[in-house]
Structure 1
């Protein structure tokens, strides 16, 4: 069947199912961590934090509060913790995820440095105030209306800035991931959900539309493509 990449797919991802056993969920998160390392998934987020540090946005008299929305197995927060330790930036980290299994999996996988506070809950029902809010490879799970709502929510509650990192909807990324996942022998959920995630993902024009609907200007929220097949949206320091 010929796939239409001109619009977002509405296909469901297996990881979003509510009846997944913990062991299956944990093993899937472990392989997703491997995918993220191989595809340089967290590099744009770390670069954003480095930019904020460089302009003095973290020159506070207390630890910088960083919230990761959709923290999953905690691999982004592990990267942030390592970056902060190397740069001498005191941080207070929080991971928020809808899945009841995420906090357990993330805590079991945590190594080194003060462990984040893991919170289970819906981002739209939970307080999100923090200095910096980040979310990585999460927004493609949401509807268009939810994405607009999330942008407005982050902009209202982030004291310094926020950063969205997600996939670029592109046929080369879709078919390339299918081949790579099969070659690497990743978890069946990952082999299924990876291409679906890309089909559910975005173009730059999608993000321009969401930005406008959230009441943000191009000056306030910058959209940029990042290698490989990423589109990021960042709020400049307030």
Structure 2
């Protein structure tokens, strides 16, 4: 195990998290994330298994779905199309804290009636209503260990049915694979540097277990791993069966 993983989470901030970073490079990074998410994030597969499986086709009232740290809203766009194909009514809310990313995302979703975007921090969801489903992809690793239990508590509190937080497993194999991919396909953005740093800021199963034990209601959380190099936290609202 020690040979396969980095011993501890990296704490160095990513370039794209700097509010003074180049807007041009930031937006190009967000665009390149579409390809990265499609090929490697496993988010679509996990959403189908963990969240969509709990949705009923033909329901009169649309399900509410919150995507935290939505970036360019590629997950929301896919989910809107997929749920329509399955006959599942859904209303998707996307959340991103960076005004530059939020502006770009609004231009991407402007013709989608069932997708809306809020420029806000994850901590602002304390003032929002509950959502049937809450999701995040490659989001938690941007935060410190001290902040993550607070975020998990908020997500659990604001979930009506189920939540899923997909992230990066801190692995030397993932790091090497991404380094090769980035050298071949990622140019003129922060994606090459930040992607490798993100993996080092990622988690092991032991990390997530420890962080969950620091939440108010650890019994409502479970963890899992999936290919390629992803680790996630999954849970249900209080009183709902797993």
Q: Shared fold by TM > 0.5?
A: yes
Question: Residue deviations 1:124-170, cap 9 Å, x none?
Answer: 13434211111110000011121100111111111111111000000
Aligned alpha-carbon RMSD (Å): 2.2
Q: CA deviation at 1:208?
A: 0.6
Superposed, 1:161-172 pairs within 5 Å as 161-172=162-173
TM score, norm. by length of structure 1: 0.90
Structure 2 residue matching 1:67: 3-state secondary structure? strand
Return closer, same or farther for 1:131/1:52 CA change in 2, 3 Å cut-off. Answer: same
Q: CA deviation at 1:79?
A: 1.7
Q: CA deviation at 1:85?
A: 0.9
* Partners of 1:174 and 1:195 within 8 A in 2: yes
Superposed, 1:212-223 pairs within 5 Å as 212-218=213-219, 220-223=220-223
Question: How far apart, CA to CA, are the structure 2 residues paired with 1:5 and 1:51?
Answer: 34
- Which ranges of structure 2 fall in alignment gaps of 5 or more residues? none
Question: How far apart, CA to CA, are the structure 1 residues paired with 2:60 and 2:114?
Answer: 21
Question: How far apart, CA to CA, are the structure 2 residues paired with 1:147 and 1:233?
Answer: 12
* Partners of 2:65 and 2:134 within 8 A in 1: yes
* Partners of 2:90 and 2:114 within 8 A in 1: no
* Partner in structure 2 of residue 102 of structure 1: 101
Question: Residue deviations 1:21-45, cap 9 Å, x none?
Answer: 4332221111111111121432222
* Partner in structure 1 of residue 137 of structure 2: 136
Question: How far apart, CA to CA, are the structure 1 residues paired with 2:229 and 2:91?
Answer: 30
From 45, 48, 51, the counterpart of 1:49: 51
Q: CA deviation at 1:114?
A: 2.4
Return closer, same or farther for 1:71/1:230 CA change in 2, 3 Å cut-off. Answer: same
Question: How far apart, CA to CA, are the structure 2 residues paired with 1:139 and 1:217?
Answer: 17
Return closer, same or farther for 1:211/1:35 CA change in 2, 3 Å cut-off. Answer: same
Q: CA deviation at 1:179?
A: 1.1
Structure 2 residue matching 1:125: 3-state secondary structure? helix
TM score, norm. by length of structure 2: 0.88
Structure 1 residue matching 2:150: 3-state secondary structure? helix
Question: How far apart, CA to CA, are the structure 1 residues paired with 2:194 and 2:124?
Answer: 26
Question: How far apart, CA to CA, are the structure 1 residues paired with 2:103 and 2:94?
Answer: 12
- Which ranges of structure 1 fall in alignment gaps of 5 or more residues? none
Q: CA deviation at 1:210?
A: 1.2
The farther-off stretch of 118-127 and 85-94 is 118-127
The farther-off stretch of 69-78 and 193-202 is 69-78
* Partners of 1:222 and 1:236 within 8 A in 2: no
The farther-off stretch of 207-216 and 106-115 is 106-115
Return closer, same or farther for 1:148/1:217 CA change in 2, 3 Å cut-off. Answer: closer
* Partners of 1:45 and 1:165 within 8 A in 2: no
Q: CA deviation at 1:110?
A: 3.1
Question: How far apart, CA to CA, are the structure 1 residues paired with 2:216 and 2:210?
Answer: 10
Question: How far apart, CA to CA, are the structure 2 residues paired with 1:139 and 1:229?
Answer: 15
* Partner in structure 1 of residue 79 of structure 2: 80
Return closer, same or farther for 1:236/1:34 CA change in 2, 3 Å cut-off. Answer: same
